[in-house]
Chains A and B, each alone.
Chain A
Amino acid sequence: MIEKKQQIFNKLGLHARAAAKLSHLANMFSADIYLIYNEDKVNAKSLLGILTLAASVGNEIMLQAAGADEQEAIRAIGDLFDRKFDEEI
């Protein structure tokens, strides 16, 4: 199991479209993937689960993955956050 702290850079935070992209990406991996924010832990493969975090720009979440492709999963998801979910230039 690996973890990575990840800052949220996109202005709208983990809103619906960003959550859709994130859950879509997470579902490409076999590893169990979770997002931890404040005291909440949600399945990154669940669009609605992500939305319940109501995580906004500037905040930091913890990415957690466990499974055969956990490294690739964390790298790809971290990259999506870093790219601001491709929402902003």
Chain B
Amino acid sequence: MIRSVIITHGNLGRELVQVAEKILEQKLDIEIIAFDWQGDGSAMISQLEAFIARNQGSEIVIFTDMFGGSPSNISTRFVGPGIEVLSGINLPGLLKFFCCGEHNGSFRQVIKKVEQEARDGINIISEYLGDKK
């Protein structure tokens, strides 16, 4: 089973998870860590270390809000066998991860599918409509 944690600036992660829970009508099994604007990131590191320690033996995906941001940069140090960071997570990506038996396949394949869905969820609507005409 893949364990997941979302780390974002402020409460963005909590809001994303709550919206996904509303859409999927289920409680999501995901750890939520908010980056403290005032802090130096040490609290976030401790929380992340504790999460990883609690889930040793499981594959872990760390969702972050923006590549290059502190949550993402700090998470990057934990990347290794069985631990991936997926930056720029959005609602489509999160829904893909939790919806509908999407955990078929290897850890890598699951993460790639989530990444693709998150990318596919971004559209300039006029161009999208244009393609369909």
What's the minimum C-beta distance from B99 to chain A, rounded to whole angstroms? 5
What's the minimum C-beta distance from B90 to chain A, rounded to whole angstroms? 11
User: Pick the contact of B95 from A21, A27, A39, A48 — CB < 8 Å?
Assistant: A48
What's the minimum C-beta distance from A25 to chain B, rounded to whole angstroms? 9
CB <8 Å contact, A45 and B120: no
The interface of chain A, by Cβ under 8 A from chain B, is 16-17, 20-21, 23-24, 26-27, 39-40, 45, 47-48
User: Pick the contact of A45 from B25, B95, B100, B121 — CB < 8 Å?
Assistant: B100
- Given that A48-B92, A48-B95 are contacting pairs, would A24 and B22 also be in contact in the complex, using a CB cutoff of 8 Å? no
- Given that A17-B25, A20-B24 are contacting pairs, would A48 and B100 also be in contact in the complex, using a CB cutoff of 8 Å? no
CB <8 Å contact, A23 and B22: no
A10–B22 CA distance with the chains assembled, in angstroms? 18
A21–B23 CA distance with the chains assembled, in angstroms? 9
- Given that A27-B100, A47-B96 are contacting pairs, would A20 and B121 also be in contact in the complex, using a CB cutoff of 8 Å? no
A47–B114 CA distance with the chains assembled, in angstroms? 12
CB <8 Å contact, B100 and A17: no
Closest CB pairs A-B (n = 10): A27-B100, A16-B23, A27-B101, A23-B100, A47-B99, A20-B24, A24-B100, A20-B23, A17-B23, A48-B92
